[in-house]
């Protein structure tokens, strides 16, 4: 059988910049051809995804989730090796997706096949592989989860293979993530001559007042599993290149990463109220546009999280800390179905030029996932 590093390199050679499948899912389909896994293709909105299951769907099921799409390589001239070459130099594998996250997909696929060939199907493994995580993520994991609901396909626990370790392999696993939302304010005043400000209504002044208020507001002090929530200004623009005109309009955006002290609805209501107050006070008109990428969630650090911790420690010798830091991942959709924990490689080089990973880590990751399947089967065979 192909080894996990060779498989990762082959996946890297498929240039799967979202939304392109570029042969990667076909390659995975082929890998499972002579196994007892059932393969389901789930296509929606121009995105291809796969769902694979070994064992009957009513059995206790451990799920794995990962994406094969990658972000664009950026400036090609700056890459030491061609980004879709999957080149191995010494102990290092180079290429876009080496860390985020073709190696984890290769690792859980091979671990699952190895387990299935040696075991009785008195337990089930489900693999969810999406082509839309780095993009809008509307037709990726969400499409798989919708298909699962329609086809009565359940899972009891899920591991997401996103990179989770900051520097040393094994040091961090994620048991949750903050929520993320963006609000864009379009503030309209009254255009005028900058020498006669009393005749105009300057929307920039209103924006300053609003933003000052927002960034000075302490959202919370953190919670049991989370760091404090944060709010940052991400853009401000009046599109004004003159010095003698007060513009009529300014647009500004904020991004909030919030913990379980809040919901996006509560934050939306607070921002609406504040905007109304500023609008009344400054005689401007404020239009609001909210985009919510995900609500905060966490999985109690018990059953599933404990098993992951044990397997990581057994293979790497490092005891992983439970964390809820970082951006969003597909775990934000999966937690609605079942407890979900994330563990993967060292994420330092993800999305960067010369993305690369030590191949010994990829071999260890496969061992960790295989150990986890064994332990999960042992603990949960009869418990759901």
Q: Does residue 69 belong to the site contacting Zn ion (CB under 5 A)?
A: no
Minimum CB separation from Zn ion for residue 369, in Å? 16
| 21 vs 249, beta carbon nearer Zn ion | 21
| 101 vs 113, beta carbon nearer Zn ion | 101
| 137 vs 271, beta carbon nearer Zn ion | 137
| 210 vs 368, beta carbon nearer Zn ion | 368
- How far is 230 from 125, CA to CA, in rounded Å? 37
Q: Which of 21, 69, 100, 132 is catalytic?
A: 69
Minimum CB separation from Zn ion for residue 360, in Å? 21
3-state SS assignment for residue 74: coil
Strand segments, DSSP code E, in 156-308 are: 157-160, 172-174, 176-177, 179-188, 192-193, 230-237, 245-246, 249-258, 285-294, 297-298
Total residues binding Zn ion (CB under 5 A): 3
* Locus of tokens 């209504």: 201
Q: Does residue 101 belong to the site contacting Zn ion (CB under 5 A)?
A: yes
157-165, 168-176, 197-205, 363-371 -> range binding Zn ion (CB under 5 A) = 157-165
3-state SS assignment for residue 376: helix
136-144, 158-166, 296-304, 339-347 -> range binding Zn ion (CB under 5 A) = 158-166
* Locus of tokens 């609805």: 265
Q: Which of 100, 132, 133, 162 is catalytic?
A: 133
Minimum CB separation from Zn ion for residue 129, in Å? 12
Q: Does residue 330 belong to the site contacting Zn ion (CB under 5 A)?
A: no
Answer yes or no: 358 catalytic: no
Q: Does residue 100 belong to the site contacting Zn ion (CB under 5 A)?
A: yes
Answer yes or no: 133 catalytic: yes
What lies within 8 Å, CB to CB, of 77 at 6+ separation is none
- How far is 229 from 83, CA to CA, in rounded Å? 36
CB atoms within 10 A of CB 196: 9
* Locus of tokens 């094969």: 68
Minimum CB separation from Zn ion for residue 65, in Å? 10
DSSP 7: H
Q: Does residue 14 belong to the site contacting Zn ion (CB under 5 A)?
A: no
41-64 exposure pattern, b = at least 16 Cβ within 10 A, e = fewer: ebebeebbbbbbbbbeeebbbbbb
| 101 vs 307, beta carbon nearer Zn ion | 101
- How far is 297 from 295, CA to CA, in rounded Å? 6
- By the criterion CB under 5 A, which residues form the site for Zn ion? 100-101, 162
Catalytic residues: 69, 133
């Amino acid at each position: 059988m192909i080894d996990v590093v060779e498989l990762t390199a082959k996946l890297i050679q498929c240039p799967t910049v979202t939304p392109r499948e570029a042969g990667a899912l076909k390659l995975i389909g082929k890998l499972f051809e002579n196994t007892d896994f059932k393969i389901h293709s789930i296509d929606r909105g121009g995105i291809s995804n796969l769902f694979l299951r070994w064992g009957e769907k009513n059995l206790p099921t451990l799920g794995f989730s990962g994406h094969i799409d990658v972000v664009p390589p950026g400036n090609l001239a700056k890459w030491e090796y061609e980004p879709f070459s999957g080149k191995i130099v010494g102990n290092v594998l180079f290429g876009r997706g080496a860390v985020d996250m073709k190696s984890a997909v290769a690792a859980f696929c091979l671990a699952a096949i190895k387990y299935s060939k040696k075991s009785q199907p008195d337990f089930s493994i489900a693999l969810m592989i999406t082509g839309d995580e780095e993009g809008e993520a509307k037709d990726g994991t969400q499409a798989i989860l919708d298909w699962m609901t329609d086809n009565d396909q359940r899972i009891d626990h899920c591991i997401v293979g996103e990179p989770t370790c900051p520097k040393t392999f094994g040091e961090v696993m994620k048991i949750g993530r903050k929520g993320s939302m963006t609000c864009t304010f379009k503030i309209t005043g009254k255009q005028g001559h900058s020498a006669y400000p009393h005749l105009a209504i300057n929307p920039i002044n209103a924006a300053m007042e609003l933003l000052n208020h927002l960034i000075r507001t302490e959202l919370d002090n953190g919670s049991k599993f989370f760091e404090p929530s944060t709010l940052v200004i991400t853009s401000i623009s009046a599109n004004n290149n003159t010095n003698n005109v007060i513009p009529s309009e300014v647009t500004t955006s904020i991004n909030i990463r919030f913990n379980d002290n809040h919901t996006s609805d509560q934050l939306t209501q607070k921002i609406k109220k504040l905007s109304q107050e500023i609008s009344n006070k400054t005689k401007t008109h404020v239009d609001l546009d909210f985009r919510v990428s995900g609500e905060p969630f966490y999985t109690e650090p018990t059953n599933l999280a404990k098993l992951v911790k044990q397997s990581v420690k057994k293979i790497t010798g490092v005891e992983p800390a439970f964390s809820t830091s970082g951006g969003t991942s597909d775990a934000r959709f999966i937690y609605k179905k079942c407890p979900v924990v994330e563990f993967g490689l060292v994420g330092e080089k993800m999305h960067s030029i010369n993305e690369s990973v030590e191949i010994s880590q990829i071999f260890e990751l496969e061992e960790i996932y295989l150990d986890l399947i064994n332990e999960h089967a042992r603990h949960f065979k009869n418990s759901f």
